A and B are shown apart, each in its own frame.
Chain A
Amino acid sequence: MTRDTRAHPYTPARAAPEQSSDEAALVRRLKAGDEAAFEQLILSASPRLLALARRMMSREEDARDAVQDAFLSAFKSIDRFDGRSQLTTWLHRITVNACLMKRRSQRRRPERSIEDLLPQFLDDGHHRSPARPWKTPPADSLEQAETLDLVRARIDELPEPYREIIILRDIEELDTDETASLLDLSAAAVKTRLHRARQALRTLLDPHFAEEQP
């Protein structure tokens, strides 16, 4: 599996370097209720958190609301921040939670059953319809943009629990344990759900990418 090499805002807590003295000072000011410190944090951290929320939410307005909710939640619970992870990592997790809460509270259209999107097999274990190779994605930037729009639309068609696990594991690249903790699932359940989500997304993309029958 190729890992995305773009700069990523999320750093797992266990890999976090020691808290810098600047950050420790900022945390002390936050815990003391220093308004200027809160404002400094919002102005410096919100671009990254907004980018994260945009990946998780379909609408810009919802992304901004989720980031706002995340800051309010963070300021309420700053006394519980223990410094074992970086402040940005802690805020990232709170923002993921705010996005998950917001998505779940929104009324959504009836969802397809995941079973309909999983591969089908004959009684003897062979594929019901043999899988066809996929075409190489277009190199042309305009076509590429259209392709990626299509992929985002298909991800949005997934039942919500499967959409959210694709976002957390494959896009935000949270590890299995972190995802399990956020979703209140076992690690085994995260792995199973992620695999099913990828299979379902593959089914939705297949008509667009499979080579024509000879």
Chain B
Amino acid sequence: MTNHHDITCRELAEFIADYLDHTLPADIAREFDRHLAVCPSCVAYIESYKQTIRLGKAAFAQAEAPADASAPQAILNAVRAARKSAR
């Protein structure tokens, strides 16, 4: 952490998503870059924020159960039964 920058760690944390999406105005993005050049805590925070997104995606990419060949037929039977009872 350091005092030699224009924006604070709080401001940087507030707008990380816009910074990563490159939707910040260019002058503000430059202030972010200047802050990151002197603040290891914010560098660690922004890297762990990016890793959080990657881990979330990976967790659910792996979460898909193997294809269950009987599932479509089971769903079909359940939908048939529900439609029949609704008639």
Q: B-contacting residues of A (Cβ < 8 Å)? A: 1-2, 4, 6, 38-39, 42-44, 46-47, 50-51, 54-55, 60, 64, 67-68, 71-72, 75, 119, 121, 124-127, 130-134, 137, 145, 147-149, 151-152, 155, 166-167, 170-171, 191, 194-195, 198-199, 201-202, 205-206, 209-210
Contacts and interface: CB of A to CB of B under 8 A. Distances in A.
A133 B67 contact: no
Nearest to B79: A71
Secondary structure at chain B's binding surface: helix, strand, loop or mixed? helix
Given A125-B11, A126-B9, A127-B45, A171 B57 contact: yes
Contacts of A43: 72-73, 76
B60 A50 contact: no
A127 B55 contact: no
Given A55-B60, A134-B48, A170-B56, A119 B75 contact: no
A155 B40 contact: no
A40 to B, nearest CB: 10
Classify chain B: how many residues form its interface, as a range: 35 or more
A198 B54 CA distance: 11
